[in-house]
Chains A and B, each alone.
Chain A
């Protein structure tokens, strides 16, 4: 019986091994036909013509993740400071779960929201904005990751001992000064880690960006244009009938491998940040 339990625990390792083996082996077949240099330096992604330069896809993922961060960092940090330092306890207990609803929202719903409500609203402000644009995608992905930032940041702010706040109040500091100069710096490792983790989530996000940013690869930094992310490309190929073993079929594993490596690297950075800069208070 114990053996069965141990086996179950080991299955989780097999999942990771499976992911790596699948991505690397299928990706390797892809890279025998498309050289790595072309993959990483090519500026055109146009599989039908055999052009496999990943920069447009990677660029789109980064642009949308950055827009998402621009939305989510102020909203998330503001909420975290409000909930941890200002809000009465009873209000906090209501607001926090409400914010977390956003984190549990299926991403398809956010995609629908972007296409159906956010883009039309943006078109009122910016006439000429296309139906598919990175801005709306970035905004809804930002909404998705806001609770991630606010929840984790608030946890680390609340872990700052009250004695530090009281000490600062005793020296005549105001609540704003205590929040910004005492609590935020003391909780900084947790705050930064939450932002980094949120970025990794934003880069891996799929449905909202597929629906809102469109399916045309476009190497551009202009958030008003449509662009296809790595994840959106995988969806686009999967929707059609790419035959197993074709170069297109293998290309989704190659870009999947890139996505896996990027998100894993970001997660490792987050763990390092916490480990290196964390201050433990009694």
Chain B
């Protein structure tokens, strides 16, 4: 450091030019750094403890037979096969219902709902002015009304989606129990569970798909429209394909949330003690008892015998491995196919 000396004043005392570096080595500085580092380390250590305790407990029970055997009251013979099949069917049903609706909602909210309505409004008014009557006129009036209320509805949907994402998952179970099982009369089956999970991840898919769509620069869309495409064509053949890797990444992450959900499935379907092996055909899902990896793990964990704890841990290893694979696929998708604009 250079000290600027003004003539006439004495040079400042030595203590005032104490180097700043010394301050950093004060004990309180070091202590604080170690404190925040330690807190981070504790969190990571807990995660390591969690995973290692599960692996140590369950690795011994893990075998090919464990994956292919059906459930049994005897922990030595009990297998994870029904749970695996159940989870596969659940995921199929969930994706079939949640994906199209979620992506469609995201497309509408991100690409159509916020566009200026002036041109459309003028066209509709012109057609109304030509003196059409009957059903067509009524329809045109509905469209005019919609254009007027649209901004308010969109704002409502916005707030609503972020609130839905924060609703506890067990509440979705109650919804599924009352609507799918109670009112629609679907039995407490894989179908009822899959539909419930679809509702549960719908807001997550919408949020992820909107982010992916937002990441595509507006110039892509404008370029297409400048070449004569309609907005619909521009979105369908330019924006949507460009956003697809991002949408798929978000979808896989939403699925990895759904595959680990336990509480809503218990509320919808209860706990199955049977030894059935559900069919992998999703069309049969309405008649198949509700099996799923997390349900089976819960059932085993809830048993008092220690040998059941071991196979519960083995089940957890399988579940965590599935999650790991799903997340890896999502990361690869994102890294390989996402473009930097």
Contact = CB atoms under 8 A, between A and B. Distances in A.
A10 B156 CA distance: 10
B168 A259 contact: yes
Nearest to B53: A117
Contact of A16 (B36, B109, B113, B163): B163
Contacts of B319: 106, 109
Contact of B157 (A9, A200, A234, A256): A9
A43 interface: no
Given A82-B39, A98-B47, A176-B33, A260 B171 contact: yes
A2 B171 contact: no
B55 to A, nearest CB: 12
B184 to A, nearest CB: 12
Contacts, number: 245
B174 A256 contact: yes
A31 interface: no
Q: State the majority secondary structure of interface residues on A.
A: helix
Interface residues of B, number: 86
Contact of A263 (B167, B175, B320): B167
Interface in B131-173: 153-154, 156-157, 160-161, 163-164, 166-173
Interface stretch (A49-57, A122-130, A218-226, A237-245): A237-245
A267 B179 CA distance: 25
Contact of A22 (B163, B179, B206): B179
Measured as residues with beta carbon below 8 angstroms from the partner, the interface class of chain A is: 35 or more
Contacts of B82: none
B29 interface: yes
Contact of A111 (B20, B168, B178, B301): B301
A13 B203 CA distance: 10
Contacts of B96: none
Nearest to B320: A109
Contacts of B39: 74-75, 77-79, 82
Given A109-B320, A117-B49, A16 B160 contact: yes
Interface string A143-175: 100110010000000000000000000001011
Closest 3 pairs between A and B when the two form their complex, measured CB to CB: A204-B168, A78-B39, A106-B260
Given A102-B47, A174-B26, 14 more contacts: A8-B102, A12-B164, A13-B157, A19-B172, A77-B39, A104-B256, A104-B327, A112-B316, A174-B23, A175-B29, A204-B170, A231-B170, A235-B266, A238-B270
